[in-house]
């Protein structure tokens, strides 16, 4: 892999073969370190727009790459992927949208994280056809991929086909000790297909935890060390107080929680809220907060991260 490169201010279009679900516009892997991908526009990748990490057993880890201030849209297939051997990658201040909207491929998430110790922050993740953010661990081509100790904070996740957040654990992998905080998950679950939209048992689920293919369940009363705090999460005003978190176990019955029930059950689920975040104009993809937004000053202070007002705002935009 190449290291210490900059790709900036470029327009990258139509990479690979959508019908074959093959080809990525940007690929960073196998001892590729400290690369900076900044202020680019990229669209139409046969498999994805950007993949960082590599997912074959022979690949070496890639450290300290930065992906910032880009506009990535992929109507053909997937958008942004941190896979396998991505380490200490920073994905920040990007617009990640329109994954798989052409219908050529199956629905795709805005960003998939199947790797350890990365940071995803200040992104607008919207209008993708599957879940907004997927944090996943599973076996691929003989490589057991884990998703552990990732930090996901201050993202705005809106208008995606599936849940705002999915945690997926399969095989002998572990999805553990990830921190999801200060995000806005609003207006998701938009797909007309109930399976994709995470519509089940009379509710649209904001957080979908899928352990069905895992070799073991998580301990009772535990989210496996994952932390979900100080987020605003609801499909819309009509769904406030309805189903919020579902856990699909490897065996036995599903476990269902409203937000209040989840916060009473899991010590690492706390201080989340559900009111309308009052975006300036979500339909026009303007996700700044109105002056009266309940998301203002509702976040948790993260050491070393500056903010205005008495506390950080939720979502991608710090307003006051």
Q: Which of 130, 98, 156, 97 lies closest to 299 in space, CA to CA?
A: 156
Q: Are 185 and 233 in contact (CB under 8 A)?
A: yes
Predicted local confidence at residue 319, as pLDDT: 86
Band the pLDDT of 160: cuts 50, 70, 90: very high
| Mean pLDDT taken over the chain | 98
Helix (H, G, I), strand (E, B) or coil at 60: coil
Distance, CA of 109 to CA of 117 (rounded, Å): 20
**Percent of the chain as helix, strand, coil, to the nearest 5:** 5, 40, 55
Predicted local confidence at residue 1, as pLDDT: 85
The stretch 95-111 carries a mean pLDDT of 98
Structure confidence by residue, pLDDT tens digits, 109-152: 999 999 999 999 999 999 999 999 999 999 999 999 999 999 99
Helix (H, G, I), strand (E, B) or coil at 81: strand
Predicted local confidence at residue 38, as pLDDT: 99
The stretch 57-67 carries a mean pLDDT of 97
- Cα–Cα separations (whole angstroms), residue 79 to 46, 97, 109: 10, 7, 7
Distance, CA of 301 to CA of 312 (rounded, Å): 6
The stretch 31-44 carries a mean pLDDT of 99
The stretch 73-92 carries a mean pLDDT of 99
The stretch 285-310 carries a mean pLDDT of 97
């Amino acid at each position: 892999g190449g290291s210490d490169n900059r790709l900036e201010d470029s327009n990258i279009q139509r990479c690979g073969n959508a019908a074959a679900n093959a080809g990525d516009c940007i690929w960073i892997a196998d001892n590729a370190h400290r690369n900076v991908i900044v202020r680019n526009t990229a669209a139409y990748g046969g498999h994805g727009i950007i993949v960082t990490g590599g997912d074959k057993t022979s690949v070496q880890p890639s450290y300290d790459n930065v992906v910032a201030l880009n506009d990535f849209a992929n109507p053909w297939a997937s958008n942004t992927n941190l896979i396998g051997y991505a380490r200490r990658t920073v994905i920040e201040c990007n617009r990640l949208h329109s994954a798989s909207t052409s219908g050529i491929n199956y629905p795709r998430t805005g960003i998939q994280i199947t790797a350890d110790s990365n940071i995803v922050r200040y992104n607008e993740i919207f209008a993708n056809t599957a879940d907004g953010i997927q944090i996943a661990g599973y076996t691929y081509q003989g490589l057991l991929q884990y998703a552990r100790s990732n930090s996901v904070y201050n993202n705005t996740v809106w208008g995606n086909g599936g849940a705002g957040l999915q945690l997926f654990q399969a095989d002998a992998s572990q999805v553990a000790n990830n921190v999801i905080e200060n995000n806005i998950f609003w207006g998701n679950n938009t797909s007309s297909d109930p399976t994709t939209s995470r519509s089940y048992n009379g509710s649209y689920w904001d957080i979908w935890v899928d352990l069905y293919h895992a070799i073991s369940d998580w301990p009772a009363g535990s989210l496996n060390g994952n932390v979900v705090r100080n987020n605003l999460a609801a499909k819309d005003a009509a769904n406030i107080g309805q189903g919020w978190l579902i856990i699909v176990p490897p065996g036995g019955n599903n476990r269902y929680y409203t937000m209040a029930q989840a916060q009473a059950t899991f010590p690492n689920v706390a201080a989340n809220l559900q009111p309308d975040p009052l975006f300036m104009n979500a339909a026009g993809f303007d996700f700044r907060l109105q002056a009266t937004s309940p998301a203002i000053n509702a976040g948790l202070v993260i050491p070393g991260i500056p903010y205005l007002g008495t506390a950080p705002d939720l979502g991608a935009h710090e307003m006051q």
